[in-house]
Amino acid sequence: MTDYFVDPTSIVNAAARIGAGTRIWHFCHIMKDARIGSRCSFGQNCHVSEGVIIGNNVKVQNSVSIYGGTVIEDDVFLGPSCVLTNVTNPRSQVQRRSLYETTLIRRGATVGANATIVCGVTLGQYCFIGAGAVVTHSVADYALIVGNPGRMVGLTSRHGQRLVDPDRDGIMRCAESGFRYREVEPGVLRCLDLSEDEPLPPELAIGHRSYSEFKRGVADPISA
C-alpha cells in the first residue's frame, strides 16, 4: 500500500522513492533510484531517470523528461514539453553515462513551456524562464529570462509578477502580494517581507486575479 497515486498506465520502478501525496498520471515512467518528494504532480507522458532528485510540491506538466544529473528543489514548476539535458556534447558512438553534468533548479523556479535548459547550469530561486527560451548559462534569483539565446529582461516576484519602478530606497513591490523586494548587493535580489525558504502564507498561496489584470498596458514577455 502506497501513500501516493500512480495511474495504471504508468510504470514506477520498485526502487524509486516517492513522497506522500504525489500524483503520477498517464503514461509516465519513473526509473529506479529516482527520489521524488511529497505533494508533487506529474502530467501525462513524463519520464524521470535514474538518480534524479526532486523536492516537494514540484509540478511537472505533460511531456517532460528529467534526465540523470538533474536536481530540482521544492516548489519548482516545469511547463509542458520543456527540455532538460545532461550532456553538452552528446554522440551516439561515445558513452558518457559517468559524465552527466549537473543541472540545479532552485526553489520556486518556473521553466516555461517548450523552454530548453542546456545542462550544467543553475537556475536561481524564483527565476522565471519564459516559454520557448533557450538557457545556456546560469540564471540569477528572481531573473526573468526570454528568447533564444535566453537573456535577462527584468525581475519577477515570488508570485511571478514583474518587479518595476523602484522607489528612492530601491524597493519594488509585487503587485499581487504587496511584498517588498530590494537588491541587497549587486545582482542579488531579496524579499524583505518573507524569507525565500518560508512557504507563502495560506491567504497568498491561492491566486484570485488573472495575470492580465496586473499588466501595465505595455508588452510583457512573461509566459509559462
Domain boundaries, the chain: 5-88+100-156, 169-215
pLDDT mean values, one per 10 residues, the chain (224 residues): 92 97 98 98 98 98 97 98 96 93 98 98 98 98 97 96 94 96 94 95 92 64 62
Q: What is the pLDDT of residue 115?
A: 98
What pLDDT does residue 71 have? Answer: 98
Q: What is the DSSP letter of 193?
A: S
Q: What contacts 177, CB < 8 A, 6 or more positions away? A: 157, 158, 159, 161, 200, 204
Architecture of domain 5-88+100-156: 3 Solenoid (2.160)
Which pLDDT value is given to residue 217? 46
Tell which phi-psi region holds residue 147, choosing left (phi > 0), alpha (psi between -120 and 50) or beta: left
What does residue 160 show for φ and ψ, rounded to 5 degrees? 75, 25
Read off φ and ψ for residue 35, nearest 5 degrees.
-120, 115
Terminal-residue alpha carbon distance, the chain: 36
The pLDDT of residue 212 is 81
Look at residues 49, 42, 41 and name the one whose alpha carbon lies nearest to residue 16.
49
pTM: 0.94
Q: What is the predicted pLDDT for the residue at 216?
A: 57
Contact present, 162 and 144 (Cβ < 8 Å): yes
